[in-house]
Structure 1
Amino acid sequence: MRSLLLDGPGALHWEDAPEPVLTSPTAALVRPLAVATCDLDVGVLTGRYPLPGPYPLGHEGVAEVVEVGDQVTSARPADRVIVPFQISCGECGPCLQGRTGNCAEYPMMSTYGLGRLGGLRWGGFLADLVAVPHADAMLVPLPAGVDPVAVASASDNLPDAWRTVGPWLAEAPGADVLVVGGDAGSWSIGLYAAGMAVALGAGRVVYLDQDPERLKVAEALGATPMSGPPPRKAGAFPITVDASGDPDGLRCAVHSTAPDGTCTCSSLYTADVALPLLAMYSRGLTFRIGRVHARACVPAVLELVGVGFDPSLVTTAVVSFDDAVQALRAPAGKTVLTQPARSA
C-alpha cells in the first residue's frame, strides 16, 4: 500500500509500505477517506515547528471500516467512522475518566502521524489502510448525512476547539467569549472555537486576529471580528481562548479574562512565556493548558454539527490523495485530502 511520508519542511514523498493486519480481536482496519491537515502539520511543513522526519503523515480523518476483529461489536465493514488521533484502550483508569489522551496502556503521547513525538509504530492517515487497536473504544460512527470532508478534523482540532469553550459555556450559559488568533498560531482551532461558541449560544463572541482571511471566516461563523495585533487587554470576558501561538496573544487573553473567568490556551509554546500571575491570582482566574483528550470530546463536536455548526467554512482547500505532495509542499490554512472508499 502507499503511505505519505513527511521528510522535512516542504518535503514529502509516497512510499510503498506493508499493509497492516489485524493483530488482536479488538482491532480494526480502516481506509481513510477524508484526511485534514492539523495545525501542527502545517507548522512542521512550513518549518515553524521542529519535528524531524521522515515519518508517516496525517492524524485527522474520517475512514471506512474494512475489517474488524472477532470481539468488535460497534463497527462493521463499510461503516464510516471518525478515528481519534490518540491511541486509547477505553478500559484503564484515565480512559474511564475521559482522559483518553493519557491512556495508561500505552506510552504517553501515543498518536498517529506525529513521528517520534507520537510513536512511529502507529503510522499516518495519509495511507491506504490504518490499524486501530481498540475499535470499540476508539471509533465513533459518522452520523448519516454528515459530509466526511466537513468533519475531517473531528479527530483532533475540532475536539481541541470544543474543550476551550464547551465545558465553560455549560457552566455559564450565554457568557461572552474572546478568542485570540494570530499569524504565529493556528489557522483552524481558534476559528472552530469561535464558531462553536456561537453555536452553543454564547453572548458576544469576539475573534481577534490580524489575518483578513481568518477574520472573514470568523464573521461567517457568526463571531464579531476584531482586527489588529493583540492589545494588552481587549475587554472583560468570562471565557477567553488563546489560539495565537504568540506570547502577546496569550497575555492579551489572560488580561481580558473577567474576574472568576476561565482562560484556556490551545497553543503550543516551545519556550517559556511570562504570565501576570499576581493579576491572575487577584482576579481568581482559572487557567487551563494541555493536550486535548480527543476521543472524549468527539460526540459533543458531532452534536454541534447536527444543530448547525458548519466546520467546512474553515476549510481552505480540498484535494485528492494523488495531489498530496504538491498541495502540502507549502500548505496554508486547512487542507482536506480525499480518496475513494473501497466499497465505492
Structure 2
Amino acid sequence: MAIGAGSMQQFTFLGPHHFEWKEVPVPQLENAGQAIVHPLAVTRCDLDLYIANGSIRMRDSPFAFGHEIAGEVTDVGDNVCTVSPGDRVIVPFQINCGTCANCLTGLTNACTSVPAYSAYGLAQSSGREWGGGLSDYVLVPFADAMLVKIPDTVSLPVAAAISDNASDGYRTVAEPLRDYPGADVLIVGGLAQSVGLFAVQAARALGAKRVVYLDFDQDRLAQAKALGAEAVMTRYEPDLPVDHQFLVTVDASNLPYGLVHALASTAPCGVCTGVSAGVQIMDGLPLFEMYMKGITYNISRVHARAEIDSVLECARCGHISHQDVITTSVPFSMAAETIADPDSKIVFVQDQPS
C-alpha cells in the first residue's frame, strides 16, 4: 500500500462486510505532549467481529477501524519524556490524559479531558475520530500517560492484545482472587470469545484452585482445555441447572441465559463480572436471589491503561502465554477479506516491504 505525499492508508468501515483502504492525511503532532506511532500488529477485538459482520449495527458514516495496537514510535513532541522514536510500544485503546481526577485514581476508561468513550477505531462511540490501528500511523494525544514500552521478550501480537482484550480478561479475576485467594472460578464463555479465554489464563496464573469454562463452541472449548480449564459443552437455555457455586464467576457469554447462569452460579458473597453490555434489557435476572446471597455483579468497560502494567508483567515473566489465545495471523493487506472470520483471535501484522 503506497503512501502518497502527506497521505497514508487507513482501513475504513463503510458498513457490514464493507471495508476499504482509504487515503487520508498523515496525522501530525499538534502539541509538545503528543507522539506518532506506526502500528505493526493489531489484534481484532471481540467487539470488532460483531461490528464487521453486522451483528452490532453502526451508523452509515465511515470510521477508522482497529483498536488493539502495538507499534513503533516515529515522532514525539518536545515535552515527551517516557518514549523516543524507535521504541516499541503498546497503545491503550482508550484515550486518557493521565492527569484528570478519574485518570489519577485509575478510572482510565472515564477520562474527563476527552469526550466520553473516546477510543481508537470506535469513532461512533465518542463522536470524535481518533484514527484506527489498521492505519499507517496514529496520533497519541497524551504520550507519557498512554504509551507503554514493550519488553524485548514480549511479541508485538501479544502486546497488541494486552491493549484491550487480554487486560479485560485479566481484570475479571484479578481483584476477586485477591479477595478470595485460591477460589474456584467459573467462566461462562461465548460471544466475548477471546476475553473468556484470556480470563482462563489469568485465573490459572493468579492461583485459582479450579477453573471451569462453559461454552457452546467446540473450538473454544478445546482452547480452554489446552489452557488448563475444565471445559464443559453447555447450551445456555432457561432453567439451566446449577451444579456448583463459585465465589468468582465471569460472564463472557454476551447472551441472556448465559448471564443468568453466571449469576445463579455465584456463591453467597461472591463476585460476578460481566464483560459486555450485549444484554441491554431483559426479564428474568435473579435479583432477589442475588440480594439474598449478597453477591456483587460488576459490569464495566475495562480501565485499559490501569491494567496494562500488571498484564504486561505477567507476559514478560512468562506467567501467562497470551500467544496461545491468538488463532490466526494475517497481513494488513488481507484485513478486508478476513476481518469477519469467526476465529477466536486474529492478529493483523504490518506487511513487509517487497
TM-score by length of 2: 0.93
Match of 1:103 in 2: 111
For 1:121 and 1:41, locate their aligned partners in 2 and report how far apart those are by CA, in whole Å. 16
Write the letter of the residue equivalent to 1:35.
Answer: V
Match of 1:38 in 2: 45
Structure 2 residue runs without a partner (length 5+): 1-7
1:329 Cα deviation after fit: 4.5
Residue 217 of structure 1: which of 219, 223, 239 is its match? 223
For 1:15 and 1:242, locate their aligned partners in 2 and report how far apart those are by CA, in whole Å. 37
1:270 Cα deviation after fit: 5.1
**Number of corresponding residues:** 340
Residue deviations 1:10-31 (CA, integer Å, cap 9, x gap): 1111000100000011100000
Residue 297 of structure 2: which of 287, 311, 332 is its match? 287
Matches within 5 A, 1:84-103: 84-103=92-111
1:340 Cα deviation after fit: 5.7
Residue 320 of structure 1: which of 331, 339, 347 is its match? 331
Residue 248 of structure 1: which of 233, 257, 265 is its match? 257
Residue 49 of structure 1: which of 29, 43, 56 is its match? 56
Residue deviations 1:170-202 (CA, integer Å, cap 9, x gap): 1211010000012xx221001110111001110
Residue 140 of structure 2: which of 109, 122, 132 is its match? 132
For 1:330 and 1:6, locate their aligned partners in 2 and report how far apart those are by CA, in whole Å. 16
1:323 Cα deviation after fit: 1.3
Match of 2:29 in 1: 22
For 1:290 and 1:216, locate their aligned partners in 2 and report how far apart those are by CA, in whole Å. 28
Matches within 5 A, 1:1-344: 1-53=8-60, 54-182=62-190, 185-230=191-236, 231-269=240-278, 271-274=280-283, 275-305=285-315, 306-339=317-350
Bigger mean CA deviation after superposition, 333-342 or 80-89: 333-342
Q: Is the 8 A contact 2:333 2:351 kept in 1?
A: no
What secondary structure is seen at the aligned counterpart in 1 of 2:292?
A: helix
For 1:207 and 1:270, locate their aligned partners in 2 and report how far apart those are by CA, in whole Å. 20
For 1:341 and 1:266, locate their aligned partners in 2 and report how far apart those are by CA, in whole Å. 35
What secondary structure is seen at the aligned counterpart in 2 of 1:31?
A: strand
For 2:169 and 2:228, locate their aligned partners in 1 and report how far apart those are by CA, in whole Å. 16
For 1:148 and 1:17, locate their aligned partners in 2 and report how far apart those are by CA, in whole Å. 25
Residue deviations 1:102-152 (CA, integer Å, cap 9, x gap): 001111101110131133420101000000000000001111211111232
Residue deviations 1:28-80 (CA, integer Å, cap 9, x gap): 00000100111110011111111234211000011100000001000001101
Q: Is the 8 A contact 1:102 1:108 kept in 2?
A: yes
Write the letter of the residue equivalent to 1:116.
Answer: Q
For 1:328 and 1:103, locate their aligned partners in 2 and report how far apart those are by CA, in whole Å. 29
Q: 1:223 to 1:151 in 2, by over 3 A?
A: farther
Residue deviations 1:291-325 (CA, integer Å, cap 9, x gap): 11110000111122123311111112100111111
For 1:76 and 1:89, locate their aligned partners in 2 and report how far apart those are by CA, in whole Å. 19
TM-score by length of 1: 0.96
Aligned alpha-carbon RMSD (Å): 1.4
Bigger mean CA deviation after superposition, 49-58 or 208-217: 49-58
For 2:194 and 2:310, locate their aligned partners in 1 and report how far apart those are by CA, in whole Å. 18
Q: Is the 8 A contact 2:43 2:69 kept in 1?
A: yes
Q: 1:107 to 1:197 in 2, by over 3 A?
A: same
What secondary structure is seen at the aligned counterpart in 2 of 1:74?
A: coil
Q: Is the 8 A contact 2:256 2:279 kept in 1?
A: no
For 1:13 and 1:232, locate their aligned partners in 2 and report how far apart those are by CA, in whole Å. 46
For 2:351 and 2:335, locate their aligned partners in 1 and report how far apart those are by CA, in whole Å. 14
Write the letter of the residue equivalent to 2:15.
Answer: G
For 1:76 and 1:340, locate their aligned partners in 2 and report how far apart those are by CA, in whole Å. 23
